[in-house]
Structure 1
């Protein structure tokens, strides 16, 4: 898992830099709905990396010879195992803190729903409850969605504004924003150490609100847009009184003053939404990110993929009792995350004596991550009862052709 995260950090960084840098222009010229949809490129890029694709042709690999001794333990710890273990520990701690924060926020929402009172909204598709505080409105609940309204909702907004705000929350639910936010939270939890991910998550949630505004007011009259604008201004003033209104991972916040100004500006110019433009832009984004990776991929060679963990085979008991020695030559594929797959024995002396233990061990080997992986890597394992002393030079003699 850690190898995959490290491998994906560079392409993810490039993609987020593109999305964040182009965001102001795209919002201005293409609209909030298309800009919000472009964040789909992030999970698409990460899913792409999990597909069993090889971008580089197979190359030859150096043959390693491992001298085995019947007294040796089966697992040889790599020289940098402490470093990798430390990184894994830090990452797990950070992910645990993230998970704890999300759980605490969900607990607060559940508690607010328990103490909230039911509000009758005839003709509205979702249940509504009125909280005891000023936070909200926001929709919550994946199976039984509920719109949680602030305590002064009915007094602060007139009937037209109430309908527009409720329609805004209903749009969040119908569009699947709550479920998509789970994917965004998963990415943020996995890459919690990446500062651009935090900036991107904030921008993504802002674009979500902007896109929802655009969809709700797509066919609204000028009077409805004005009423909605006043509702937004009233809501941001009440949120300013709450220190927990921003950076809530599980709630749709209406934004600070700067974001509210942006929302009001976008309400005055509504752009259409083209699925074709979205598809072409997504393809261009992901394609550009993969193209930018090519210099890194070109630098990956067989010599760059160093083994970081080798599990030595156990000497077969029957072979040890019979004092049988020999060797095997195995061929396998190294995945981009460094794991070993498709182990095959291509030569075995004596035949099939050491094959099973060799395959079992090789399947647990790990190499340093790379952008492309490698096919048909080869290794030779020598099984010897009495290994040659380290102070004796070994010279391999092969027949000449």
Structure 2
């Protein structure tokens, strides 16, 4: 699980960095609607990664060998550092972060419930498809509510002109029509999963800002110059409120006020086909990069990959979680390479048991570390499980250079 998270975190970082670095020219050329849709590439990339994880048999090239080989590398820095975090500790830290993020979500839900209880119907408007409440505790209009969406406006909302009020309300209605509250929850769920990655936080804020830009582009697309100026004044009136909430939209935002006003001068059309093509293009590129990461996960050449196979794979039972063995410190200091061949059973629930060392070299050097790691592997659930599955863990100090030809020689 930790390995998968780190792999996906790297890929998300690459996509996020691309979107953040090239955001300004992309926004200028593509427009707010298209740039906002490009953020779909991240969840699509993660979905593709899960498909690759769940269907590894589709990527298998050959099934010739009895043992499946996994390479265990040891960096020379290992012997200098004895403070590497263990897998259980990393999992504990990750789950603690998720718990904190969930708590923040619950606290905001509680705050919004109290806010709505104190709010009163806004009497200046006629019947609307969404309820409109007025609250003295907010300084900017917003949309909240997943099952029962409600627009909430501040006390001074009546000071805006009728046209400005209607434009602001239409802005919030468009949030509802597009399903932005649910979208924001999904984005927050991804942020919760990768809370440890600072680029994810920057990408989440940029995504929410792009959401507002896309709404502005939609509402002002049919406005004349005077109406756009009036709309800009409404933005300015609420520009001091920049609270990005997980369960509500944020109309006012002083951080991107200039960007929103400037963007209204450069209207771009919205093409559904263009949005689909760009999103799928970026997602496909990310997926190919993801596949390269998965292909290199075992640090083996293409010839070695073609020879991988195990009895469990023939039964479509493959490992979902692999814990890499710790390279023994003494072996690192002695610069020892070696391998351990293991035979084991897999229960119907995917648990590993009855582990036996078939062969190892040097004898006894890597056995304990290999057995300890294999006990923590989790395989795909199956109806019958597997008996006598086999795996070989190759312990290698340093990988040879990529320009050095490697030929595997076996003796029968």
When the two structures are superposed, what TM-score results if normalisation uses the length of structure 1?
A: 0.70
- Call closer, same or farther: CA 1:188–1:92 in 2, change over 3 Å: same
Partner of 1:235: 238
Contact 1:133 1:150 in 2 (8 A): yes
CA distance in 2, matches of 1:217, 1:94: 40
Give 1:19-58 correspondences, 5 Å limit. Answer: 19-51=19-51, 52-54=54-56, 55-58=59-62
Distance change >3 Å, CA 7–CA 118, structure 1 → 2? same
Shift of 1:257: 3.2
Contact 1:11 1:290 in 2 (8 A): no
Q: Are the counterparts in 1 of residues 142 and 251 from structure 2 also a CA contact under 8 Å?
A: no
- 1:128 aligns to 2:111 (yes or no): no
Q: Which moves more between the two structures, 228-237 or 252-261? A: 252-261
Give deviations 1:24-67, integer Å, cap 9, x for gaps.
Answer: 11211110011111111111111111213444524556649xxx
2:238–2:252: 8 Å Cα contact kept in structure 1? no
Q: Map residues 86-125 of structure 1 onto 2, 5 A cutoff.
A: 86-120=89-123, 121-125=125-129
Q: Does structure 2 retain, via aligned residues, the 8 Å contact 1:15–1:289? A: yes
Change (3 A) 1:186 1:127: same
Q: Report deviation, 1:334.
A: 6.6
Does the 8 A contact of 1:236 with 1:256 survive in 2?
Answer: yes
Within the alignment, does 1:217 sit opposite 2:220 as a pair? yes
CA distance in 1: counterparts of 2:253 and 2:319, whole angstroms? 42
Contact 1:61/1:378, CA 8 A, preserved across alignment: no
- Which of structures 1 and 2 has the bigger CA Rg? 1
**CA 1:60–1:187 in structure 2 vs 1: closer, same or farther (change >3 Å)?**
farther
**Which of the numbers 347, 363, 379 marks the counterpart of 1:360?**
347
Distance change >3 Å, CA 60–CA 111, structure 1 → 2: farther
Gaps of 5+ in 2: 69-82, 302-309, 324-343, 353-372, 378-385, 392-410
Aligned residue in 1 for 2:337: none
C-alpha distance in 2 between matches for 1:114 and 1:276: 43
Q: 3-state SS of the aligned residue for 1:126?
A: coil
Aligned in 2, Cα 1:5/1:294: closer, same or farther, shift over 3 Å? Answer: closer
Matched-pair contact (CA < 8 Å) for 1:119–1:129? yes
**Residue 149 (structure 1) aligned with residue 153 (structure 2):** yes
Match of residue 289 from structure 2:
292
Query: Does residue 379 in structure 1 map to residue 382 in structure 2?
Result: no
Does the 8 A contact of 1:192 with 1:198 survive in 2?
yes
1:200 aligns with 2:198: no
2:188 aligned residue: 185
* 2:334 counterpart of 1:331: no
In the other structure, the counterpart of 2:163 is 160
| Unaligned ranges ≥5, structure 1 | 65-79, 240-244, 305-328, 341-356, 370-375, 382-399
Q: Cα gap change, 1:259/1:330 in structure 2, threshold over 3 Å: closer, same or farther?
A: same
Count of paired positions: 315
Distance 1:362 1:134 in 2: 52
**8 A Cα contact 1:139 1:172, kept in partner:** yes
Q: What is the rounded CA distance, in whole Å, between the counterparts of 2:132 and 2:349 in structure 1?
A: 58
Contact 1:3/1:337, CA 8 A, preserved across alignment: no
Cα separation, 2, equivalents of 1:214 and 1:116: 30
Which residue pairs with 1:395 in the alignment? none
* 1:61–1:377 contact (8 Å) kept in structure 2: no
The CA deviation at 1:11 is: 1.9
C-alpha displacement at 1:206, in angstroms?
Answer: 0.2
Q: Is the 8 A contact 2:145 2:247 kept in 1?
A: no
Cα deviation, 1:308-327, whole Å, max 9, x if unaligned, reads xxxxxxxxxxxxxxxxxxxx
